[in-house]
Amino acid sequence: MSDVMKFEATTVETMEADTNRLHETAVKVGVDTWQDRVANQTPHCGFGEKGICCRICTMGPCRITPKSPKGICGATADTIAGRNYLRMAAAGAAAHSDHGRECVWKLYDASPDGNFHITDETKLLKLAEEWGVETEGRDIYEVGREVATLGLGEYGKITGTSRMISRANPERIRCWEENDLLPRAIDREVVTALHMTHVGCTADPVALVHAALKVGMADGWGGSMAGTEFSDIVYGTPMPKETEGNLGVLEKEYVNVICHGHDPAVAEMIVNASESPELISLAKEQGAKGINIVGLCCVANEMAMRHGIRMVGNYLQQENAILTGVVDAIVVDLQCIFPNIGPVSECFHTKFYTTSPIAQIPYSTYLPVTSANGGEVGYRIVKEAILNFKNRDEGKIFIPEHKRKAAIGYSCEGIKSRLDAVTNSHVDEELDTYKPLIDCVKAGVIRGAAAFVGCNNPKVRPDYSHIEIMKKLIANDIVVVATGCAAQAASKAGLLEKDAKFLCGEGLKRVCTLADIPPVLHMGSCVDISRMMLLATGIAKDWGIDVPQVPVVGCAPEWMSEKAVAIANYVVATGIDTYLGVYPQVQGSDKMMELITEGTRAMTGGGYYFYTNPDDLVNAIINGIEAKRAALGI
C-alpha cells in the first residue's frame, strides 16, 4: 500500500453533501441561508465590486464610468478606490485591536478570587521585563495590573510608537523607520485613516496605500499582538493537544452549547460553568448525558487550543450548526456573526444570546458580560441551555456524522518545543530557537512555509481552495501554519491529523515523524497571526537575514472581512508576500492595483499576488518559495 493510501482526507464534496442536507431542513422550516442569499445578491453591483462607488458625502453617491470619470468633488477612480481600501483596513484594525483591548482589560481586572486570573505567569513576567516593569518581590497581580496599564496606554499614548516593535529584527525596524511605517498609538492610526478619507482630505492613492500599511502595522504589531499576548497571560499559552472538528462534534444526547465569535472571555465563562457539578447533575436530571460545549469561528480556535474544546465549524457553517436541531444555546461575543443567526434560531428551540455591546443583534437575549458578572452570566446561559434540552423538536433533528481528529495548539512556544526533536542534540539549550527548523529549510528537507489565514467566501467554492492548496503545498514539502477559518477548513479535512504526513513529500513527512507534528500547524485565531509574524521574525533573526528573504509566504484564498485587509497590510509591511484568492474592491483603479502589488513590494519587500484559480495560486506559491530559496543560494 502506498503511503498516500494510508491517509484519506475528507473531501469538500462530503462537506457539501452535509450542507445540502441541512439546507433541506432550512427549506422545511422556512428560513433562508447564505446559499439562498448569494443567489439573490448575484450579480453583485459592478461599481461596488470595483471599488469605484463613493458615498463619503451627500453630494454623492458618485460612481465612476467612462462618461463620468470624476465624482462631484473631482475625486477620481484612484482616489475613490484608495479611500475605500483604507477604510476597510482601518475598520479591520479597529475590530482586532478593540478585541485586543478587551483582553488587556481582563488582565487589568484579574484577581485571585475574581472571574479572570493570571494563568501564564512566565509570559507575564517576560512581558514585564520587556516593558521595564519591576517584578522583584512584587505580587504577581500587582505586576499584571501595571503591565495591563501600559498595554492600555498603547492604544492612546501621546508620543512614541508601538512597544511591540522592539521584537522585530533590526533590518525590519530600519525599513519601517525609513518608510514612516512605525505605528503610533493604535487608536490614533485608526482615527488618522478615517480623517484622511473624509471628503476633501487625501486624494493621492500613494498616501492612502501607505496609510493602509501603517494602520495595518498598528493592528499586527499593536492591537492584534496585544490580543494574543494578553489572552495567553490570562487564559494560558496554547501548547500541543488533541481535539476534533466539524459538525459531527454535536451530540444528540448531550446539552449542546455553541460559543461563537472571537474574544475568549465569554467562552471561558461558559466552559467554567459547564464544569460545575450542580449543572452537570441538572443536565442529567433533564435527561441528557452531560454538557457538550463546542466552538465556532475564531473563538473555537481559542477554546480548542487552550482546553481541547471541539470545533463545530467555520464561518459558513454557522447557520448549518443550528439547522442540526440539537443546539440548545448559541452564545456569541463579537465579529463574524451572521445577523441571520436570529431568524434561524427562531425556527428551532435554540436560545440565542448576545453578550457584547459591540455586537447587538435582533432576536437575541442580550446579556452584556463584564469582568465582574462574567461567571454569573456564563452560569445562567448554561443553566438555561440545560432547561431548554427538552424543548427540541425530534422531527427537525439531523446531525451530520462527519468529524476529524485534530492536533492543535502550535503557538510559537509549542512549535519550538516540538521542532527541537528534529535535531534533538541539546534539548534544553535548544528550546528557545528556530535553528532546527532553519536547518531543515536550508537542507531543503522543508522547502519553506506558507501561513494560511482567513475566511470562507461564497465567491470561492467554500473550503475547497484552503484544502486543495494546503494538500498540494505539503505534497511539495512546504509546511503550512494556519489560523482562523483556514485552520478549521484544515481540521474538517483531517489535515490537522498527524497521519496527514502521508500526504507530504518525503522531507516534510520525515520532519513530521521526528517532531510528532501534523504538516498543517494550527496556530490559533485570526488575532494570532501576530504569532505568525513573531515566527517569521524569529526565523529571520536566528538565520541572520531579513524577513522578505525567508522562504515564507502568506496566503488567504477565501478571505472576505475588513479584518483580513488589515492583516494583509501588516503581513505585507512585515515583508511577506501574500497570495490572495479574492480581489479587494479596488480593481476599478489600475493605479491602486499597481500600488498594492509592486508598489508595496518596492517599499517593504512584500506585496499581493492574485490568483482566483486555486491551481494557479498554489503553483505561484511554490514558485515564489523556490525563487526565495534560489536568491539565498539554497
What's the min distance (Å) between Cβ of 525 and ligand BF8? Answer: 6
What's the min distance (Å) between Cβ of 132 and ligand BF8? Answer: 32
Q: DSSP states of 503-572 as a string?
A: GS-HHHHHHHHHHT--SEEEEESGGGHHHHHHHHHHHHHHHTS-GGGSSEEEEETT--SHHHHHHHHHHH
Could you say which of 17, 59, 627, 630 contacts ligand SF4 (CB under 6 A)?
59
Q: What angle do helix axes 464-475 and 12-29 make, rounded to 10 degrees?
A: 170
Q: Which residues contact 569 (CB under 8 A, 6 or more apart)?
A: 89, 212, 213, 215, 216, 217, 219, 220
Closest CB to ligand BF8 among residues 148, 490: 490
Residue 71 binds what, of ligand BF8, ligand SF4, none (CB under 5 to 8 Å, by partner type)?
Answer: ligand SF4
Query: Cell numbers of 262, please?
Result: 472571537
Residue 369 binds what, of ligand SF4, ligand BF8, none (CB under 5 to 8 Å, by partner type)?
Answer: none
What's the min distance (Å) between Cβ of 65 and ligand SF4? Answer: 13
Q: Please check whether residue 278 is in contact with residue 382, taking contact to mean a CB–CB distance below 8 angstroms.
A: no
Which residue in 88, 160, 167 sits closest to 574, CA to CA? 167
Phi, psi of 151 (to 5 degrees): -60, -45
Handedness of CA 497, 499, 502, 508 (dihedral sign): positive
Closest CB to ligand SF4 among residues 78, 98: 78
Q: Per residue in 138-177, is it b (16+ CB within 10 Å) or e — as a string?
A: eebbebbbbbbebbbebbebeeebbbbbebbbebbbebbe
Provide the β-strand partners of residue 555.
Answer: 452, 579
By CB under 6 A, residue 55 contacts ligand SF4 = yes
Q: Which residues, 160 to 219, sit near ligand SF4 by CB under 6 A?
A: 199
Residue 211 binds what, of ligand SF4, ligand BF8, none (CB under 5 to 8 Å, by partner type)?
Answer: none
By CB under 6 A, residue 500 contacts ligand SF4 = no
What's the min distance (Å) between Cβ of 62 and ligand SF4? Answer: 3
Residue 26 binds what, of ligand BF8, ligand SF4, none (CB under 5 to 8 Å, by partner type)?
Answer: none
CA distances from 112 to 116, 149, 178, 235 (A): 8, 18, 45, 13
Could you say which of 56, 77, 330, 565 contacts ligand SF4 (CB under 6 A)?
56
Q: How far, in Å, CA of 552 to CA of 229, rounded?
A: 23
What's the min distance (Å) between Cβ of 92 and ligand BF8? Answer: 9
Could you say which of 29, 73, 152, 191 contacts ligand SF4 (CB under 6 A)?
73
Provide the β-strand partners of residue 360.
Answer: none
Handedness of CA 571, 576, 581, 584 (dihedral sign): positive
Amino acid at 317: Q
Q: How far, in Å, CA of 118 to CA of 106, rounded?
A: 9
Residues making contact with ligand BF8 (CB under 6 A): 262, 297-298, 314-315, 336, 454-455, 484-485, 525-526, 561, 563-564
Closest CB to ligand BF8 among residues 389, 570: 570
Question: Which single residue is written with the C-alpha cell 483531517?
Answer: 494
Q: How far, in Å, CA of 201 to CA of 86, rounded?
A: 13
Could you say which of 47, 52, 71, 297 contacts ligand SF4 (CB under 6 A)?
71
Question: Which single residue is written with the C-alpha cell 490568483?
Answer: 611
What's the min distance (Å) between Cβ of 384 and ligand SF4? Answer: 47
Distance between alpha carbon 109 and the CA centroid of its chain, in Å?
25
Residue 56 binds what, of ligand BF8, ligand SF4, none (CB under 5 to 8 Å, by partner type)?
Answer: ligand SF4
What's the min distance (Å) between Cβ of 589 and ligand SF4? Answer: 13
Q: Which residues, 77 to 96, sit near ligand SF4 by CB under 6 A?
A: 80
Closest CB to ligand BF8 among residues 171, 302: 302
Provide the β-strand partners of residue 351.
Answer: 329
Residue 273 binds what, of ligand SF4, ligand BF8, none (CB under 5 to 8 Å, by partner type)?
Answer: none
Closest CB to ligand BF8 among residues 103, 455: 455
Q: How far, in Å, CA of 583 to CA of 609, rounded?
A: 10
What's the min distance (Å) between Cβ of 336 and ligand BF8? Answer: 3
By CB under 6 A, residue 60 contacts ligand SF4 = yes
Return the SS3 of 71. coil
Closest CB to ligand BF8 among residues 47, 315: 315
Q: How far, in Å, CA of 411 to CA of 521, rounded?
A: 9
66-74, 101-109, 188-196, 551-559 -> range binding ligand SF4 (CB under 6 A): 66-74
By CB under 6 A, residue 545 contacts ligand SF4 = no
Residue 484 binds what, of ligand SF4, ligand BF8, none (CB under 5 to 8 Å, by partner type)?
Answer: ligand BF8
Could you say which of 39, 44, 61, 204 contacts ligand SF4 (CB under 6 A)?
61
What's the min distance (Å) between Cβ of 95 and ligand BF8? Answer: 8
Residue 61 binds what, of ligand BF8, ligand SF4, none (CB under 5 to 8 Å, by partner type)?
Answer: ligand SF4
Closest CB to ligand BF8 among residues 414, 454: 454
Residue 62 binds what, of ligand SF4, ligand BF8, none (CB under 5 to 8 Å, by partner type)?
Answer: ligand SF4
- How big is the site for ligand SF4, counted in residues (CB under 6 A)? 14
What's the min distance (Å) between Cβ of 83 and ligand SF4? Answer: 8
Q: How far, in Å, CA of 57 to CA of 41, rounded?
A: 25
Q: Please check whether residue 536 is in contact with residue 69, taking contact to mean a CB–CB distance below 8 angstroms.
A: no
By CB under 6 A, residue 51 contacts ligand SF4 = no
By the criterion CB under 6 A, which residues form the site for ligand SF4? Answer: 54-57, 59-62, 71-73, 75, 80, 199
